[in-house]
Amino acid sequence: MVSLHGDINHDNAAPIGRLLAELLQASPDEAHLDFAEISGLGTAAGSLFFPLMATAREQGTTLIVHRASPALRTSLRGLGLDRALFYDDEPAWPRS
């Protein structure tokens, strides 16, 4: 599970991308991304999430976005990213 904070933009997309790639190194069945504290997604989010989604698909990993606001879901949809994501309004951890 990874909890992201603030804006995702050109200044921080590369380090966030590396962090998310590390999450997928173990080839988990599911990868949980908590968006509760994301304030915005710039166009750099596409360069961050497209490789993540490709790796997840190759490995059979389901990407689950937790607590994304309606505005963030609209941004993800606008970038064409929501087709490969599942949404959950509950916190990513603890899961019962």
Given a cut of 60, whether residue 96 has pLDDT beyond it is: no
* 1 pLDDT more than 90: no
Check residue 56 and give its pLDDT: 93
Q: Residue 54 is part of which domain span?
A: 2-88
Residue-level pLDDT at 43: 82
CATH code, 76: 3.30.750.24
In a domain, 93, yes or no: no
Q: Is residue 13 part of a domain?
A: yes
Classify residue 95: in a domain, yes or no.
no
φ, ψ dihedrals at 77, nearest 5° = -65, -40
96 occurs within a structural domain: no
Number of domains composing the chain: 1
Backbone angles phi, psi at 15, to 5 degrees: -65, -35
Answer whether residue 94 is part of any domain.
no
Residue 14 domain-assigned (yes or no): yes
Q: Report if residue 51 sits inside a domain.
A: yes
Kindly state whether residue 23 falls inside one of the protein's structural domains: yes
Q: What is the pLDDT of residues 24-75, one digit of tens each?
A: 999 999 999 999 999 988 888 888 888 889 999 999 999 999 999 999 999 8
Rounded to 5°, the CA angle 51-56-57 comes to 100
Give the per-residue pLDDT at 81: 84
